[in-house]
Chain A
Amino acid sequence: MTHVHSTPELLAKYRTALLGGVASLSLFVSGAAYAQQSPSGAEVPKHLDEKATSQLEDDPQILSASTPDSRRIYITDPAHFAVATQTFTIDGNEGKVLSITDGGFLANPFAATDGSYFGLASTVYSRVSHGKRDDYIEVYDAKTHDVIADIDIPESRFLVGTYPWMTTVTPDNKSLLFYQFTPSPQVGLVDIENKKFVRMLDVPDCYHIFPTSNDTFFMHCRNGSMAKITFDKDGKVDVKQTEAFHSESEYLINTPAFSMKAGQIAWPTYEGKIFMIDVSSGEAKFGKHFDVFSDEEKADNWRTGGWLPVAYHRDSGQVYLLADQRAKWTHKYSSQFVFVHDAKTGKRIRKIELGRDIDSIAVSQDDKPQLYALSTGEKTLYILDAETGKELHKVPELGHGPQVIVAHDN
């Protein structure tokens, strides 16, 4: 509508005409058969004053988010185990929240490798926190944030503090794999393209899911080995386990970094030893591991600590580790430093002092990477220059206890 004739009289005329039109249309659509239906609770109330449905000078629209680039990230707030959670879509270039998506209990985020969609594996109950449980996969368009697939799955999600690699897409973005813990370890296969649950796949006593092709993924097992799982859609599963690659007393954290595009897993221990697992050939190779801390630093109690304390930059092959001076058994508390090492040589490239308590980190995969540093306590994301550590943006008010950073371009 034009703004030129926006006198109250004219507006009133427009409104009367419009409302009349809407009313007769709805009568026509609903018809006599629905006349006895109970109220929906969402109708425009009949007793509303004119002001409540005024015509506007402005023209409000529903926005669409920008096209995702390598600096598009998703921050999930598990809200300290609350039954409802939020996932914030953020543009790292501007440090701007583009949209917020609702999830249920301990929703696990995932994103297509090409950025075209993102989604949540989620759980809700019919009566807020009890009643009938419903697990589902919801997939959203990365720009409009409209639901593009809502797929029912068995009530079998592993309910655990959010570990990104417990739910993931396959490299072609057509399938999704999610982990089940009880009554026995299994992995659920979901066909995203055709919007349907396919089946559960039997796996050994192993954890996490690292896909290397569209029918193959790796897991890490209790006995310290990696298992290569090959499957088909009929449920045939082939399992091949490697020898143990770490000792029983080397504790590998719950949230390793995985670059699906490079086929590299960077997996730190509590003490700051990093295992690089190369799965790019389709087999697990354990050639390289290195200690982030010198003997002197170890004596000074430098250790890994945080929720997502490791990130991997694909092109440079650099590993970022969140760490601090800390007592043993404080491995989930925040840290104030990031150590950057070359994954090939194990040599330290730089050390970044964050100057605040940070729980989770990630890096963007472009040539001038951003370092994402998330503070659960402050509920704030700090976007830093990964080279200098200089603060570029600060994004506060991210829910109740944000912990997880997911990028599509991993």
Chain B
Amino acid sequence: RVSRSAHAASGTREGWKPQDNDPSQCDYWRHCSIDGNICDCCGGSLTNCPPGTKLSPSSWVASCYNPGDKQSYLIAYRDCCGKNVCGRCGCLNTEGELPVYRPEFANDIIWCFGAEDDAMTYHCTISPIVGKA
């Protein structure tokens, strides 16, 4: 939903070219299937939610290639919920992203299920590692 021309940092038709230097950029390797906003730009960090939001215990996943150690890792994209959309560092990547009938790999869904206070509004997304893919 974040189009190329609106957010120059988002992916392009040319395909995914990951880097391992700057987690606040859309092409950081762990963001290979992120959809929304990078929490690092919203008061959170690569793996932590910003103050005042609620961390979701559920997530979609993707296997992302780390160019630093040439290994692939499973990333669990967890949403930070309960605030209006952050609006900073908008980013849409879709490596291995599957349609909604395969929801564990589908990134259009608001993955706030299970967050405290039933928070279901989308603020931003973190990119923690589950393990090696």
- Residues of chain A having any CB pair with chain B under 8 Å: 78-83, 105-106, 123, 125, 128-130, 133, 158-161, 163, 181-182, 205-207, 220-222, 251-254, 305, 307, 324-335, 357, 359, 375-378, 401, 403
Contacts and interface: CB of A to CB of B under 8 A. Distances in A.
B67 interface: no
B101 A221 contact: yes
Could you tell me the dominant secondary structure of chain A's interface residues? loop
Contacts of B101: 205-207, 220-222, 252
Contact of A377 (B4, B16, B36): B4
7 contacts: A206-B101, A305-B13, A326-B13, A326-B14, A329-B15, A377-B4, A377-B5
Given A130-B83, A161-B1, A333-B92, 18 more contacts: A80-B1, A80-B2, A81-B36, A105-B120, A128-B84, A130-B82, A133-B118, A161-B35, A206-B101, A305-B13, A325-B13, A327-B16, A329-B97, A330-B14, A330-B15, A332-B1, A333-B12, A401-B6
A89 to B, nearest CB: 22
Q: Which of the listed residues A129, A324, A403 has the most CB atoms from chain B within 10 Å of its own CB?
A: A129
Given A83-B85, A83-B121, A207-B101, A159 B110 contact: yes
Interface string B93-107: 011111111110010
Interface residues of B, number: 45
B77 interface: no
A96 to B, nearest CB: 24
Nearest to A161: B108
B119 interface: yes
B73 interface: no
A334 B84 contact: no
A233 B12 CA distance: 48
Interface string B1-43: 1111110001111111000000000000000000110000000
A321 to B, nearest CB: 16
Interface string B115-133: 0011111110000000000
A333 B11 contact: yes
Contacts of A357: 3-5
Contact of A163 (B13, B100, B123): B100
A10 B96 CA distance: 74
Given A83-B84, A129-B82, A331-B94, A376 B3 contact: yes
A332 B120 contact: no
Nearest to A377: B5
Contacts of B16: 327, 329-330
Given A129-B83, A133-B120, A326-B13, A377 B3 contact: yes
Interface of B: 1-6, 10-16, 35-36, 82-85, 87, 90, 92, 94-103, 106, 108-110, 112-113, 117-123
A286 B93 CA distance: 32
A150 to B, nearest CB: 21
B1 A160 contact: no
A351 B98 CA distance: 27
A240 B76 CA distance: 35
Contact of B117 (A79, A130, A252): A130
Given A332-B92, A333-B11, A401-B6, A252 B99 contact: yes
A329 B5 contact: no
Nearest to A221: B101
Contacts of A325: 13
9 nearest CB pairs, A to B: A327-B15, A377-B5, A161-B108, A377-B3, A326-B13, A159-B110, A376-B3, A377-B6, A81-B85
A401 B4 CA distance: 11
Contacts of B84: 82-83, 128-129
Contacts of A83: 84-85, 121
B46 to A, nearest CB: 20
A311 to B, nearest CB: 18
Contacts of B83: 129-130
Nearest to B119: A130
B121 A125 contact: yes
A403 B97 contact: no
B14 A254 contact: no
Contacts of B106: 254
A161 B107 CA distance: 9
A334 B121 CA distance: 26
Contacts of B87: 80
B126 to A, nearest CB: 15
Contact of B99 (A253, A324, A328): A253
B90 A80 contact: yes
B15 to A, nearest CB: 3
A335 B97 CA distance: 18
B32 to A, nearest CB: 9
Nearest to B7: A377
Contacts of B122: 81, 159
A106 B110 CA distance: 10
B98 A375 contact: no
